[in-house]
Amino acid sequence: MNKQTIYMIHGTDYKRMAMKIMESAGVAEEIGSAEKRVVLKPNLVAATPPSQGGTTHAELLAGAVEYLQQHGFNNIAIIEGSWVGEITPNAYRTAGYDRVCREYHVPFIDLQKDSYQTYEAAGMQIKVCDQAMKADYIINMPVLKGHCQTLITCALKNAKGMIPNSEKRRFHSLGLHKPIAHLNTVVHPGFILVDNICGDLDFEEGGNPVTMNRVLGFRDPVLCDTFVCESMGYDIDEVPYIGMAEALGVGSTKLDEAEIVMLNQPEKGATGKASSRRTQQLAGYTAPKDACSACYGSLIYALNRLNDYRMLKRGLPPIDIGQGYRGMPGEIGIGACTSCHNHSLKGCPPKAVDIVDFLQEEWIGQR
Ligand code: SF4
């Protein structure tokens, strides 16, 4: 797998989707010898079920473990330390990881209780847990979601779960961005399997999930987080740790040089689904008809940005989206399916960052 390749798969059979992405990316071949120690690092920030948008789905872990075991790997562990204030085993049970560990006979290691060493991290001294640093290969499994301080969180920030609690507190006192960038000069995941199933609008622990039903694969955490910015409607300059990590040589923000390998096409399914009061309010500006989850989720993220800018107002015409609009005339629509509308944004699915620009110009700006 090229470092600039992005793998994307849509659907609801999350376990199979994880396996298919890893197979397509050739993860087993890349790891090499079956004797290697492979650790999976999900996001178990707090004791909230993955359906709330804060934690990695257990089905993705099951898929990753099954894929590895099918390829002869048996020295596997799941490692994670929840945020300060949460007891990791509570989060582990709430997310259903106990069932995965039992079914596949894989240990879970609570990094809040792990020993650690201090490492030189491009000019900073950073403590990192031993179980992470002893691994031969790390599979980073973050959730693509919003964050109340850093705006987005995905691959780069998920590395923070591999440091002791005392270091997490210090990171916050340093403003998060700089230490996150430096931490990623020390911790090097081989593969990044992103849970883009239903990440939160803007809170790390979930509560306002946005259904996308998508799983992504990357090798470059900087490229991954750059993609996340576009998917949620942010400019990368709004998330300083991404540019800092690039400057330290962790990866590249050059999305235009990346190849996106679509393992299937988006599926219909999200129409009208809004799982919290906030997403319901945003959904009130839309008129979905057989919309694919990834398309509709991108629109919800874009509307959330416009809401941040205080641009949403009463009296705006509903935004059409979905396969039910194919060939139909209309006022304003998002995605290739609305190409017969007076104002339509191309893309299948379009990115949230493009939807934000389009709606400012063609929807709000016209009224
Ligand atoms: S443009 Fe149409 S087919 Fe493509 S993702 Fe959107 S709703 Fe689905």
Which residues, in sequence order, are CB contacts of 172 under 8 Å at separation 6+? none
pLDDT by 10s per residue, the chain, length 367: 567 999 999 999 999 999 999 999 999 999 999 999 999 999 999 999 999 999 999 999 999 999 999 999 999 999 999 989 899 999 999 999 999 999 999 999 999 999 999 999 999 999 999 999 999 999 999 999 999 999 999 999 999 999 999 999 999 999 999 999 999 999 999 999 999 999 999 989 899 999 999 999 999 999 999 999 999 999 999 999 999 999 999 999 999 999 999 999 987 765 545 568 889 999 999 999 999 999 999 999 999 999 999 999 988 999 999 999 999 999 999 999 999 999 999 999 999 999 999 999 999 986 6
**Nearest-CA neighbor of 346 among 354, 138, 69, 120?**
354
Note whether residue 210 is domain-resident.
yes
Residue 8 Cβ contacting ligand 1 at under 6 Å: no
Is there a single domain that holds both residue 249 and residue 355? Answer: no
What is the number of the ligand 1 atom nearest to the C-alpha of 326? 2
Is there a single domain that holds both residue 347 and residue 216? Answer: no
Is there a single domain that holds both residue 356 and residue 326? Answer: yes
Note whether residue 166 is domain-resident.
yes
pTM of the complete model: 0.94
Is there a single domain that holds both residue 169 and residue 95? Answer: yes
Note whether residue 54 is domain-resident.
yes
Residue 355 Cβ contacting ligand 1 at under 6 Å: no
Domain boundary among 236, 262, 288: 262
How many angstroms is it from 146 CA to the middle of ligand 1? Answer: 23
Q: Which two tokens stand for residue 212?
A: 């996308």
What is the number of the ligand 1 atom nearest to the C-alpha of 290? 7
How many angstroms is it from 363 CA to the middle of ligand 1? Answer: 19
Is there a single domain that holds both residue 317 and residue 252? Answer: no
User: Which domain does 242 fall in, by range?
Assistant: 5-262
* Helix or strand (DSSP H, E) at 134: none
Is there a single domain that holds both residue 213 and residue 318? Answer: no
Q: How many CB atoms lie within 10 A of CB 35?
A: 10
Residue 349 Cβ contacting ligand 1 at under 6 Å: yes
Residue 124 Cβ contacting ligand 1 at under 6 Å: no
Residue type, 343: H
Note whether residue 315 is domain-resident.
yes
Is there a single domain that holds both residue 247 and residue 291? Answer: no
**Cα distance between residue 206 and residue 228, in whole Å:** 17
144: left (phi over 0), alpha (psi -120 to 50) or beta: beta
Is there a single domain that holds both residue 330 and residue 285? Answer: yes
How many angstroms is it from 262 CA to the middle of ligand 1? Answer: 14
What is the number of the ligand 1 atom nearest to the C-alpha of 349? 5
**145-175 burial string, b = 16+ CB within 10 Å, else e?**
bbbeebbbbbbbbbbbbbbbeebbeebeeee
Residue 189 Cβ contacting ligand 1 at under 6 Å: no
The overall longest dimension of the chain from CA atoms, in Å, is 63
Q: Which two tokens stand for residue 300?
A: 């919800």
- Beta-carbon-side half-sphere exposure of residue 143 (alpha carbons within 13 Å): 34
Looking up residue 114, the CATH number of its domain turns out to be: 3.40.50.11440
Q: How many domains does the chain have?
A: 2
Is there a single domain that holds both residue 343 and residue 223? Answer: no
Is there a single domain that holds both residue 338 and residue 305? Answer: yes
Note whether residue 253 is domain-resident.
yes
